[in-house]
A and B are shown apart, each in its own frame.
Chain A
Amino acid sequence: MDLTPELHGWNEKIMDVATSYGLDYFPTVFYMLPYSYLTEIASHGGFPSRYYHWNFGLEHEKLKRSYEWGMGKIYELVINTNPCYAYLLENNDMMQQKLVMAHVYGHCDFFKNNIYFANTNRNMLDEMANHSSRVEKYIQNYGASEVESFIDACMCIQEHIHPFGITKVDYQEELSSEEEFLAYGKKKMLEKNPKYMETFLNSKEYIELRKKQYQSRLEKAQKFPSSPVKDLLFFLLMHAPLKKWQEDILYIIRKERYYFVPQGQTKIVNEGWASYWHFKIMTEHFLDGDEVIQFAMDHSGTLAKSPYQINPYYLGFTLLNDVEKRYNRGQFGEKWEDCKNPRERERWDLKTNRGREKIFEIRAIDNDYSFIDKYLTEEFCDEHKLFKYNYNQQTGQWVVSDRSFESVKEQLLTNLANFGIPYIVVEDGNYKNRGELYLKHHHEGDLRTDYCFDTLGAIYYIWKRPVHLETMIDGRKKLYSYTSPDDKKLVDM
């Protein structure tokens, strides 16, 4: 449903204010929807035209239920396309609609200007619709269950792509013979090269070194892939024995995944930025006296704190405000770092007024990882009571383990790395020279053991040969081997 005339009026006003602050966004189209539609769309990643798969139905079921039980409610939904599409919830009151619209303009500005969104396909709606009709065609031609099981398998591993999308096709290197290699590496002087210099220039040690180099190159060339591949989907796409339609489905899933990557990388900054602007725009321009309390409640509701996780809205919003304050008062640079006197630090104000400029810079070039890495300070951690927690196996409880700035920051960054998904690479595509797939987990924490075999089974379904995964459990090296659906083993290494 289109906007009511009243909302339309507010939209124009909010747009003008946003522009006056220097926000630069794509044209934005608002739709008003009942909650059932909103959950339906949200469960499909925001795209009504997404391809058909039951897992989206499951997502929808979960969203619907959490709403019915009052555990969570979606306020807004923006799709990063050009123009941006945003949905408003039908039963929200006028103040909430204004808040959401202001919030949406923050997101749209971020989508347009953040470097990580530079390569996003802004016609994704069309592309998704395209994907959907292709999947539909395959269902017609090859049968629903056939297509479904393949999509199931792909979905299990869809996160395993390269976060920056760089994976080159791995061509086997042509290797010259050892003689040629050594001859090529020999050092020569100019034409009048006296014979006696030979042993000096190409000493025994040097020749040995070259021989070793040749050996390692030989080994590498015999390996497949020659260096580990992070982008598992790409590897499978290139090398798994797939039919044409399967290739296309794998391609579709990988492509759509890449569309969502920047959003995963910038959750904290993006939500922080949008919250910063809805707060600014609402409090400085659009709040009626009788709306203040409701606004304060909704605003603090989205920024709710939890002992179990950091609310990205909260962290983004407060950290952006902190940065703005620090750069307004010149609390940065060498002198500031060197100053250890707390009282002096408190009163520190150089009237630099560079805060706004700085946060616009953050919005342009940072993602969550670099944002936290660069701007999280010890004072901030203390003020907002951040702590690191761990699970105590003996008592079966979660306990506060550390409050020091270093460990809190380290933990935050660890959990942000690779979107919190285990870092797994393809180590060998021809393991034991039998075409088996050997994966290696770069250990950042033990894997959940109950899922390992099932996930390996999904890869087996695509690769059609045994799949192995090297990982660590409780400090010991282990190998999961999925040889066939009836033959699964977990062995020490």
Chain B
Amino acid sequence: MSSIHLTDIVRHGEREKKRLQEKIKEKVKQGLKQYVTDESFVGQQGKKYVRVPIYGLRLPRFEVDPSKRGGVGQGDGKPGQPLPGQGQPQPGQGQGQAGNDEGEHQIEVDVNIDEMLDIIGETLELPNIQDKGKKKKIISERIRYDNLRKVGPEATLDIRRTIKNAIVRSIACGLYDPLTDPEPVFEITKDDKRHKVWEVVTQRTTNAVIIAMMDISGSMGEEQKEIVRTEMFWLESWLKRQYNGLEIVYIVHDTKAQIVDQEVFYSISEGGGTNISSAYQLCKRLMETAYDPKDWNIYPFHFSDGDNWSGEDDTLCIDLLKNYILPNCNQFSYAQVVSKWGSGKFKEVLETKLDSQDRKNLVVSVVKDKEGILGSIKEFLQSGK
């Protein structure tokens, strides 16, 4: 007679699950371009896991296309009438045996954002950011109780440990027997007392700030904004990992610039003209007041379709960049998102009006479509500044 060993299943099961996780990671790596642009991620800042559909995990097989075969169902309806509940298509499942719908082709799994970043870093061969010693600042002093002592002020008495010691001593001396005495009777002596001892812990953190600027003028379509948000999300997540306590300021601009919070930045849709200088002005003001370049690592990012209104404004921008922003930041990143309506001239302006000395801290990248996001991220982050 056979017997079932339930331990078998548990052992194999764990192994299979582990391998499955590895497989999922492999798949994500293979289709990184696609996953990076997956909308499931954007707006999920701060979450540990994001649920994304994984393609190609299921083993392939020869299968008759359900839509070319037809099936047998049950219920009301005259010939020619559509079947009920076709909100989500449910490609026919033969007679409950052959059925395999679209839903099985892809399977949704929880992907760890941290793991995703590892994969991105690995694939794009991104360097870690170089240490900038002088810009470190002590940000906090904390008190941590991590030791015990027999003497100390009454306020630090560890009552639980003290009483425990007292009971143990009483039992050892035969003064108290827990089996016979209904109520514990014991005395706390000096020897039983334990005091907590604290230590001051200082945590040193690098100071870094991202100044994220986005053009929300009329010429930036929904698609372009989508690209900006996706790319910004990954840039943000990457830098967050590099810097403990990274701060982010979100700026949106058309003809005027304003500071908005994260939620607005990731959901706003506006229209209007474009004065890029307005954003740069605001950026400069922030650097002058809140984020002193002496203490802060500053990363301005600017996303636009490159369609500035006037040449005058272009000159103003160049002036701002040349004389203040570029010399004082770690890296100024300009991403030009290709749009049907934008002229895309601002990129040329940047490349012609600034000499090579000024352009040392400037990275310009062009994003054609969603596919281009990964490449653009690489351009921005590969210098490791």
Contacts and interface: CB of A to CB of B under 8 A. Distances in A.
B65 A307 contact: no
B64 A422 contact: yes
Contact of B69 (A314, A445, A452): A445
Contacts of A401: 70, 79-80
A49 interface: yes
A390 B5 CA distance: 47
B199 interface: no
B72 A305 contact: no
A141 B9 CA distance: 23
B70 A389 contact: yes
Interface stretch (A88-96, A150-158, A319-327): A150-158
Contacts of A392: 82
Given A416-B95, A445-B64, A386 B81 contact: no
A447 B83 contact: no
Contact of A157 (B61, B76, B79, B82): B61
Interface footprint category on B: 35 or more
Interface string B51-94: 00000011111111111111111111111111111100111111
B107 interface: yes
A444 B59 CA distance: 22
Contacts of B160: none
B15 A52 contact: yes
Contacts of B83: 307-308, 389, 397-400
Interface in B1-25: 1-2, 4-6, 8-10, 12-13, 15-17, 19-20, 23
B107 A58 contact: yes
Contact of A156 (B59, B75, B76): B59
Interface string A369-407: 000000000000000111111111101111111110000
A117 B86 CA distance: 39
B94 A415 contact: yes
B97 interface: yes
A170 B116 CA distance: 52
Contacts of A250: none
A216 interface: no
B65 A399 contact: no
Contacts of A387: 72-75, 77, 79
Contacts of B9: 37, 40-41, 44, 48-49
Interface residues of A, number: 90
Contact of B74 (A83, A132, A159, A307): A307
Interface string B320-360: 00000000000000000000000000000000000000000
Nearest to A314: B74
Given A37-B6, A126-B2, A403-B79, A415 B74 contact: no
A48 B12 CA distance: 9
Given A40-B13, A53-B16, A54-B19, A400 B67 contact: no
A125 B83 CA distance: 43
B12 A412 contact: no
B182 interface: no
Given A307-B83, A389-B73, A398-B86, A455 B60 contact: yes
Contacts of B20: 54, 57-58, 61
Interface in B156-188: none
B372 interface: no
B96 interface: yes
A408 B82 contact: no
B80 A444 contact: no
Contacts of A56: 12, 16
Contact of B60 (A306, A391, A451): A451
A336 interface: no
Interface in A257-282: 264, 267-268
Given A309-B96, A389-B72, A415-B94, A422 B63 contact: yes
Which among A41, A57, A402, A444 has the highest number of chain B CB atoms within 10 Å? A57
10 closest Cβ pairs, A-B complex: A420-B98, A57-B16, A454-B60, A391-B67, A445-B69, A48-B9, A57-B20, A445-B64, A415-B94, A54-B19
18 contacts: A48-B4, A50-B12, A52-B12, A125-B4, A156-B60, A307-B75, A307-B85, A312-B97, A314-B74, A387-B73, A395-B82, A401-B70, A408-B72, A422-B64, A441-B62, A447-B63, A448-B65, A455-B60
